[in-house]
Structure 1
Amino acid sequence: MRRTGVLAVVWIAVASLAAACGAGPSVRPEVAVVRDDAGGAPAEPTDEPSVPDLPAPSTDLTWRDCTAETLGSFALPSGPAGLVLECGEVAAPIDVSGAIPGTFPLAVMRARLADTPEDAAPLVLTTGADMASTRALAGMATGPMSAALAVRPIVAVDRRGIGASLAIDCIPAAERRGIADLGQFGRTGDAADRVATLGREATVACTDYLQPQQLMFGAAHAADDIDRLRQAWNVERIGLLGVGNGASVALAYAAARPGAVGRLILDSPAVATGDAEVLAESRARGAEAAVDAFARQCTALDCSLGADPRAALEDLHARAAAGELAPVSAASMLTALSGALGTPRGDLQARIREVSDVFAAARDGDVMPLIELVSEAEEMLSTDGQFVARCSDGQRWPTPMRAADLAENWSTPYPLYGADTAVAATVCSAWPSLSPSPLPAALDLPVLVTSGAADPLVGNAGVESVTGVLTAAGAPWAALSWQGAGYSSVLHSGCVQARVETYLSEGTLPPNGSLCPA
């Protein structure tokens, strides 16, 4: 039954639950808005299909404790008492059809607490090509959002070629540096042409390196890899959380194996049906919104960037473009900023102060902290495996001429990120074209779609696209919005986590259009 009009429902939680429904220290009441959205999920739970419980693995992997090495590798704090990070591997076929023989070690990591029930069904996490899934899980597990692990373990799967899943090293150092800098140093000619040339050189190097499997790194193959984990557990269905680009992997999984999906959560999803230009603009818009949120928070904390943090960042970007922050380029400065604002770490106020101090030091002549931040961000966001995966997933990359037009058009609405994002979109223009990521044709499972107000890595343009796909597939869905800024609402909001757990345990969706406060 569809509800008409707009209904605002306010729940006042008891004090013991208030902290669990907000991000960080917020104890504001949760606000849910149920809208009459065309194509939205039925508002009445009775209209949703009956959903069986998620099964616990009947055959588990061989796990080894990797808590200390993971925290050291990602420079993370120790996390809550009793936190255990365990690493494992699954032998995954390069090509499930058998046309290309061989397997590779698919890396997985399980996060749990000492009192996590041993018989609880795990939630499988993939962030796709955005970052290593294990990094995202470790960041969440060591911060204030780790309480979700008390109910059930979360198992992250690194996409092939990324993180610990046999990471790829195929781009020559000079080309890698040139792409990171968008050709600012050591190249002549138009910026979009420079980047397209660098991308072509990287494409030749990587396709030669990967032969004959160079076309085996798309979202559909990542979905095949996740199914190897399901098979290793010997269960009929799994709960799957796809964040950002990982939502595309999750949709590809649901398209190929709808009966194997017991729960499906699409968090901050990338645009499901758009071309590379649409995805690029979504990222630029989300990054600008994240900078605005950072500036407000920075001002409230009386941070070191002064009274107008955004203006300070824009001035630094202009100085970097003029070569005044060398060896930090304008593009690598933005990568550092996106990485800092998009980190899975949950310590918001500490991160704001850290970021402010790094850029304030660069403003005052000390670029060493910024060089270190650039290195950290590139390690998280710009590996060779991510280049291969993103190029494999993309459709209809803009030509240099089109990118130059976009750079001019986007520079006004997106003053920091617009031009650079447009130019960067040419880097995959030489990559061999693959079929679009598969989408489910029929799905009778209720699906939870979550998003944030200011995602610096993905943006939020994917929600409408993804819910359109779900509607066409006949799947009931509900959209849940987090009003905070950052990559992934699930990784940063206790309120969102509470709704996710209700969905995982009971199979019921929250009212469509619900809001979680920042």
Structure 2
Amino acid sequence: MPKPPRTRAAALTATALLLSALLAGCGDDGSGDEDLTAQELSWKDCPAPSQAQGGGGSPSPLPDDGTWQCATMKAPRDWDDPKGDTIGIELIRVKSSGDESRRIGSLIFNFGGPGGSGVTTLPAFGDGYEKLRTRYDLVSFDPRGVGRSEPVLCANDQRLDAYFQQDSTPDDGAERTELVDSTKEFNAACEKNSEEMLPHVSTTDAARDMDLMRQVLGDDKLHYFGISYGTELGGVYAHLFPGNVGRAVFDAVVDPTQNAEQGALGQARGFQRALDNFAADCTSKVEDCPIGDTAQDVKDRIAKLLKDLDSKPIEGIFPRQLTQSAATNGIAQALYSKEFWPYLTQGLEEAYDGTGRTLMLLSDSMNGRSENGEYSNIAAANISINCADDKPRYTPEYVERKLPEFRSASNVFGDFLAWSMLSCTDWAVAGAADHPDVGAAGSAPILVVGNTGDPATPYEGARRMVQALGKGVGVELTYRGQGHGAYDSKNKCVQDAVNGYLLDGKVPTAGTVCS
């Protein structure tokens, strides 16, 4: 099982669409000696999202004639052979709403994952960036391997249903063998269906695409807003092109010093911390908490539910049942935002009464499954990019030795995230490094925003990112809040600091705390 994607906006967009139920590739295999930096983009009205992007309708306009436009940028398939075959990188933009004389340039967003489609996510959250649009064209993209940018494809929808229903926390040898075999089968399907792209979807490749994007968009500097995994991508870009960094913000920060195991263990602690906060919040309200009498009682009942589901799944969304894996995934998804804590309460109430519909909807949104049973390619892209980046390859025996440490971090998420370390076992492409290099001496200041209650990218990663970027580059800002990310929480202190830097170049005082 892949670990939860390090993404906020894309995950929450899918969640919102799915919870309302309660209430094609564009590659260009060209080659030759053309100067890709001189290419002119052909901007047109955006089509409805493809299945790989998550489906749905065409993006709705923003105020002030904010029409969304899409274009395809040519990039080398293999950056080590820049004159070879090209691929298409799908872009989306909305032009600045302000006076042209005050326009700074393009502000490029990456919302995380890895594997999230920026082409579908930016319009979904575009109205939250209206102030930034007064001086920037807002731009995002599907990174290579994602959405409409030569999407990596693995299993079909039916196989994915089975894959996400499987027991991802084996209790005996037979269950372990089944999990290992299923992982090998999934990874083999990725190789069979996407063999040409798998060696070329690393974060370094995507960072080089962004520098080409900067030039094609006509910007001297890259102005950037990276969220979640987007902070890792931004850090790698700053390392490769420190002199090209303009005004940049990293929000919900991935710890660049950790390997895959340390990252999974950090997520176990982070999601447990968020679950603790959820339980305390529910039981602290004036009215009775419907899922427990005390915070500990809430957590104990959740642990018992998951244990019971391991042997006896309950009704989910016909014909699927809510399994232990799906329930754990659904609980994790709801912890990405405090806005969805009421849905978690509702889902747990239902599950205790024998119905798993809400938790399954939450799980589906994490996995990129729409109501009609079609999957985006976020799971395939997430695994492919992580495995291209991460050098370690873990064995079942190694995971079993590490289980006590993971269980100590979280009795709810520990096993789930420990076994997720098998995702890259027998992967067709070797991983690049133990962890990314983000040292960026000579870069302009980068505002690094950490959220103390963040489950997916724990708060400690923000300070380590600041240290890794190097002296005089990273500027730390702390948000004492809940959920994944800070700016989209609409906290005024955070938004004023971020807007002040991106719009006016005013760097906040290092160590600023918002609550």
1-structure distance, mates of 2:176, 2:255: 23
**Residue 361 of structure 1 pairs with residue 355 of structure 2:** no
TM-score (normalizing by structure 1): 0.76
Instruction: Give matches, 1:166-177, under 5 Å.
Output: 166-171=150-155, 176-177=160-161
Cα 1:392/1:127, change in 2 over 3 Å: farther
Shift in Å at residue 342 of structure 1?
A: 2.2
SS in 2 for 1:423: helix
2-structure distance, mates of 1:127, 1:110: 15
Alignment match, 2:330? 336
The structure 2 residue matched to 1:500, chosen from 498, 501, 510, is: 498
**Residue 234 of structure 1 pairs with residue 233 of structure 2:** no
Residue 128 of structure 1 contacts residue 244 of structure 1 at CA under 8 Å; is this kept in 2? yes
The alignment yields a C-alpha RMSD, in angstroms, of: 3.5
The structure 2 residue matched to 1:254, chosen from 211, 233, 238, is: 238
Alignment match, 1:152? 136
Residue 455 of structure 1 contacts residue 487 of structure 1 at CA under 8 Å; is this kept in 2? yes
Shift in Å at residue 498 of structure 1?
A: 1.8
Residue identity in the other structure for 1:170: C
Cα 1:479/1:195, change in 2 over 3 Å: farther
Alignment match, 1:105? 88
1-structure distance, mates of 2:341, 2:306: 18
Q: For residues 244-282 of structure 1, what are the alpha-carbon distances to aligned partners after superposition, in whole Å with 9 as ceiling and x for unaligned? A: 222221122122222221123222222213211111011
Shift in Å at residue 142 of structure 1?
A: 4.9
Alignment match, 1:11? none
Shift in Å at residue 375 of structure 1?
A: 1.7
Residue 59 of structure 2 contacts residue 123 of structure 2 at CA under 8 Å; is this kept in 1? no
Q: For residues 62-109 of structure 1, what are the alpha-carbon distances to aligned partners after superposition, in whole Å with 9 as ceiling and x for unaligned? A: 434449869994699979755644333222221123278322221222
1-structure distance, mates of 2:233, 2:171: 36
2-structure distance, mates of 1:72, 1:183: 25
Residue 195 of structure 1 contacts residue 423 of structure 1 at CA under 8 Å; is this kept in 2? no
Shift in Å at residue 313 of structure 1?
A: 3.1
Residue range with higher mean Cα deviation, 460-469 or 414-423: 460-469
Residue identity in the other structure for 1:465: R
Alignment match, 2:477? 480
**Residue 125 of structure 1 pairs with residue 122 of structure 2:** no
SS in 1 for 2:426: coil
Instruction: Give matches, 1:183-198, under 5 Å.
Output: 183-184=167-168, 189=173, 194-198=178-182
Alignment match, 1:52? none
The structure 2 residue matched to 1:321, chosen from 305, 310, 318, is: 310
The structure 1 residue matched to 2:414, chosen from 403, 415, 418, is: 418
2-structure distance, mates of 1:433, 1:462: 26
Cα 1:247/1:356, change in 2 over 3 Å: same
Alignment match, 2:389? 393
1-structure distance, mates of 2:490, 2:198: 38
Q: List runs of 5+ in structure 2 lacking aligned partners.
A: 1-37, 316-320, 369-375
Alignment match, 1:458? 457
Shift in Å at residue 419 of structure 1?
A: 1.3
Residue identity in the other structure for 1:270: V
Cα 1:76/1:277, change in 2 over 3 Å: farther
Residue identity in the other structure for 1:98: D
1-structure distance, mates of 2:94, 2:302: 36
Alignment match, 2:125? 140
Q: For residues 466-492 of structure 1, what are the alpha-carbon distances to aligned partners after superposition, in whole Å with 9 as ceiling and x for unaligned? A: 222222xx4432111111122222232
1-structure distance, mates of 2:323, 2:104: 48
Cα 1:78/1:98, change in 2 over 3 Å: closer
2-structure distance, mates of 1:441, 1:514: 22
The structure 2 residue matched to 1:200, chosen from 184, 188, 210, is: 184
Shift in Å at residue 428 of structure 1?
A: 1.0
Residue identity in the other structure for 2:309: A
Residue 153 of structure 2 contacts residue 377 of structure 2 at CA under 8 Å; is this kept in 1? no
Residue 339 of structure 1 contacts residue 381 of structure 1 at CA under 8 Å; is this kept in 2? no
2-structure distance, mates of 1:496, 1:207: 43
Cα 1:63/1:313, change in 2 over 3 Å: farther
1-structure distance, mates of 2:481, 2:61: 22
2-structure distance, mates of 1:304, 1:103: 56
Q: For residues 450-469 of structure 1, what are the alpha-carbon distances to aligned partners after superposition, in whole Å with 9 as ceiling and x for unaligned? A: 11112232223422332222
Residue identity in the other structure for 1:498: D
Alignment match, 1:266? 250
2-structure distance, mates of 1:104, 1:235: 22
Cα 1:413/1:186, change in 2 over 3 Å: closer
2-structure distance, mates of 1:133, 1:203: 25
Residue 67 of structure 1 contacts residue 86 of structure 1 at CA under 8 Å; is this kept in 2? no
Residue identity in the other structure for 2:250: L
Residue 329 of structure 2 contacts residue 362 of structure 2 at CA under 8 Å; is this kept in 1? no
Q: For residues 363-392 of structure 1, what are the alpha-carbon distances to aligned partners after superposition, in whole Å with 9 as ceiling and x for unaligned? A: 222223333332222107952111111111
Q: List runs of 5+ in structure 1 lacking aligned partners.
A: 1-57
Shift in Å at residue 151 of structure 1?
A: 4.9
Residue 282 of structure 1 contacts residue 461 of structure 1 at CA under 8 Å; is this kept in 2? no
Residue 61 of structure 2 contacts residue 67 of structure 2 at CA under 8 Å; is this kept in 1? no
The structure 2 residue matched to 1:221, chosen from 205, 209, 221, is: 205
**Residue 89 of structure 1 pairs with residue 72 of structure 2:** yes
Cα 1:240/1:422, change in 2 over 3 Å: same
Q: For residues 333-376 of structure 1, what are the alpha-carbon distances to aligned partners after superposition, in whole Å with 9 as ceiling and x for unaligned? A: 22222223326xxxx54x33233223322222222333333222
The percentage of counterpart residues that share the same residue type is 22
Shift in Å at residue 126 of structure 1?
A: 1.3
Residue 46 of structure 2 contacts residue 59 of structure 2 at CA under 8 Å; is this kept in 1? no
2-structure distance, mates of 1:97, 1:424: 31
Q: For residues 43-65 of structure 1, what are the alpha-carbon distances to aligned partners after superposition, in whole Å with 9 as ceiling and x for unaligned? A: xxxxxxxxxxxxxxx99844344
